[in-house]
Amino acid sequence: MCDRQFGEVMSLVIRVINFIVARALNDRQFKTLLDEVNNYPGLLLHSNVRWLSRGKVLSRFAACLNEIRTFLEMKGVGHPELADTEWLLKFYYLVDLTEHLNQLNVKMQGIGNTVLSLQQAVFAFENKLELFITDLETGRLLHFEKLSQFKDACTASEPIQNLDLHQLAGCTSSLLQSFKARFGEFREHTRLFKFITHPNECSLNTADLNYIPGVSVRDFEAEVADLKASDMWVNKFKSLNEDLERITRQKAELAKHMWTEMKKLQPEDQLILKTWNALPVTYHTLQRGNGTTLWVEQQNTVPIRR
């Protein structure tokens, strides 16, 4: 139900933008909207879900909504949904939710992400979805800026109007369940993923090891026992985690104003592989297993789209 309803909202947004692109290319009042569209050639020819993670088109549409209504009226084009409270409620919810999803995509598409960082990003977003559900059910809307502004405007013009935020909470709950189903392996193999950076602290079971293609459980377990007894190699992984913490702090600082500088940081996955490759050949099963896990999970992790 939610997918169909929001699909209808997106379908109308695409039709309106296509109409504007064809007839208002030189209209300055739509400059920000058109600039955003022009950043992605062919964007609007794709399906109504592909471009949700492509930038600020939805928020630009929201910012230009009054001008869009006026322009359509001048052209004699009727889209009563653009003034319909129920449609706008879903639209502004979608604007805010897409912004949250875009932020998650940025984290998951970062160069050099490790399985652990991807896992943590997903788990953190699931926690936020729980928070969003409560936010909608209580009507606070602290995490839905555009929706909150729309709600306030509706209340000011018609105080007795009752907006159905519980329906949106239900849709958010459905999204949460989709996340848990899609990323179930992250939860099932938490110990295995942590082992990549903390081999001296983790104990893996047969189910974890069977997840790694072609690994010898016997050799893996024996090499883990040897590694945990070696202060030299244990200290090497402690140093690795100190380096990963340092890079994380640098990323957080650079993300504020120096995105280009982030590319100069050493990718975390390379740092992890370098540490494992520094081990002697007696740990070849561990090296192969962790390299395979790191690579497989990165290949299987794709951008999130609503």
Category of 213 on φ-ψ map: left (φ > 0), alpha (ψ -120 to 50) or beta: beta
Indicate the SS3 state at residue 26.
coil
Locate 185 and state its tokens.
């392996």
pTM above 0.75, yes or no: yes
Q: What is the mean pLDDT of residues 39-68?
A: 61
Instruction: List the domain boundaries for the chain.
Output: 2-187, 189-300
The radius of gyration of the chain's CA atoms, rounded to the nearest angstrom, is 24
Q: CB under 8 Å, gap of 24 or more: what pairs does 303-306 form? A: 303/53, 303/105, 303/108, 303/109, 304/53, 304/101, 304/104, 304/105, 304/108, 305/49, 305/50, 305/52, 305/53, 305/101, 306/6, 306/49, 306/52, 306/94, 306/97, 306/98, 306/101, 306/175
Residue 43 pLDDT level (bands cut at 50, 70, 90): very low
pLDDT digits (tens, 9 = 90+) for 240-265: 999 999 988 888 787 766 666 767 78
C-alpha 26: how far from its chain's center? 34
C-alpha 13: how far from its chain's center? 22
Indicate the SS3 state at residue 196.
coil
pLDDT digits (tens, 9 = 90+) for 135-175: 999 999 999 999 999 999 998 888 767 889 999 999 999 99
Q: What is the pLDDT of residue 49?
A: 40
Dihedral sign computed on CA atoms, order 94, 95, 96, 98: positive
**CA dihedral defined by 177, 180, 184, 187, rounded to 10 degrees?**
-140
Using a pLDDT cut of 70, give the percent of the chain over it: 80
N- to C-terminal Cα distance for the chain?
Answer: 14
Q: What is the pLDDT of residue 298?
A: 52
Locate 108 and state its tokens.
């998951």
Hey, how many other C-beta atoms are within 10 angstroms of the C-beta on 270? Answer: 11
Q: What is the pLDDT of residue 82?
A: 95
**CA dihedral defined by 137, 51, 180, 121, rounded to 10 degrees?**
-90
> How much is the mean pLDDT over the chain?
82
Locate 71 and state its tokens.
């322009």
pLDDT digits (tens, 9 = 90+) for 92-134: 999 999 999 988 887 777 656 777 888 888 999 999 999 999 9
Locate 192 and state its tokens.
């295995």
pLDDT digits (tens, 9 = 90+) for 10-32: 889 888 888 877 776 556 666 66
On the question of pLDDT at 44 being above 50, the answer is no
| Phi, psi torsion values for 201, nearest 5 degrees | -110, -15
Locate 31 and state its tokens.
């400059």
Reported as type and span, the H/E element at residue 248 is: helix 231-254
Q: What is the pLDDT of residue 107?
A: 78
Q: Is 42 exposed, middle or buried (0-12, 13-18, 19+ CB in 10 A)?
A: exposed
Locate 152 and state its tokens.
């306030």
Are the C-beta atoms of residues 281 and 212 closer than 8 Å to each other? Answer: no
